[in-house]
Chain A
Amino acid sequence: KNQVEQSPQSLIILEGKNCTLQCNYTVSPFSNLRWYKQDTGRGPVSLTIMTFSENTKSNGRYTATLDADTKQSSLHITASQLSDSASYICVATSGGSYIPTFGRGTSLIVHP
């Protein structure tokens, strides 16, 4: 069964600090992994996509990594801002499927 596990469940940091969110996935065969950001009261928005051959990808202050051997991904946020407060959802998709598997998300709160 395809599964996505995220940690931590929640995280509180001070503005300006860095943080890293973790994602372990079990999908077969693996196609791609996306990180979404969901602000309160809004739908999720895609931040990055990682495919099998990619190790690192950046989108501004967000950097995603992928280790296909250990089936792990991380999302690193640099110099956090108050607007980074949101839920970050890891989503993995298997090859040939248009039905992705969602993690439960990490709730990030950035305090001033």
Chain B
Amino acid sequence: EADIYQTPRYLVIGTGKKITLECSQTMGHDKMYWYQQDPGMELHLIHYSYGVNSTEKGDLSSESTVSRIRTEHFPLTLESARPSHTSQYLCASRRDAESSPLHFGNGTRLTVT
């Protein structure tokens, strides 16, 4: 079982609120990722990081930001939540080897009312 943790597991907030989704891993992985997952759809990459102070945008990066100040911590922030942000957010990490698997957290289910 991989050691990657996401909090909160569930979050219901109102439109316009600023929120931060937390993700931490204890495996010392340099590479970390944030994905958005909707029912019946493929995972969409929001942001990724290849190490401390390195962050890149994915396909769905608009309206959100990330930071990577420490290897183990990769929080995702929505500056102003909208109902269209309602979704499942998954954090993942992996070792540097190209063939290494992604280790996922159990996700944050976000509902914006």
Contacts and interface: CB of A to CB of B under 8 A. Distances in A.
A binds B: yes
Given A32-B98, A93-B98, A102 B43 contact: yes
Contacts of B45: 99
Contact of A104 (B40, B58, B104): B40
Interface in A2-61: 4, 9, 31-32, 34, 36, 41-46, 49, 51
Query: At the interface, is chain B mostly helix, strand, loop or mixed?
Result: loop
A41 B99 contact: no
A105 B43 CA distance: 10
A43 B105 contact: yes
Interface residues of A, number: 28
Nearest to A38: B104
B30 to A, nearest CB: 10
A34 B102 CA distance: 10
B50 to A, nearest CB: 7
Interface string B26-48: 00000100000000111101001
A41 B40 contact: no
A97 B99 CA distance: 10
Given A31-B99, A51-B99, A98-B31, A42 B42 contact: no
Interface of A: 4, 9, 31-32, 34, 36, 41-46, 49, 51, 89, 91, 93, 95-100, 102-105, 107
Interface of B: 4, 31, 40-43, 45, 48, 50, 58, 90, 92, 94, 98-99, 101-102, 104-107
30 contacts: A4-B42, A9-B40, A31-B98, A31-B99, A32-B98, A32-B99, A34-B101, A36-B102, A41-B106, A41-B107, A43-B4, A43-B90, A43-B92, A43-B107, A44-B102, A44-B104, A45-B104, A51-B99, A89-B42, A89-B43, A93-B98, A95-B98, A98-B48, A98-B50, A98-B94, A99-B45, A99-B48, A99-B58, A100-B102, A105-B42
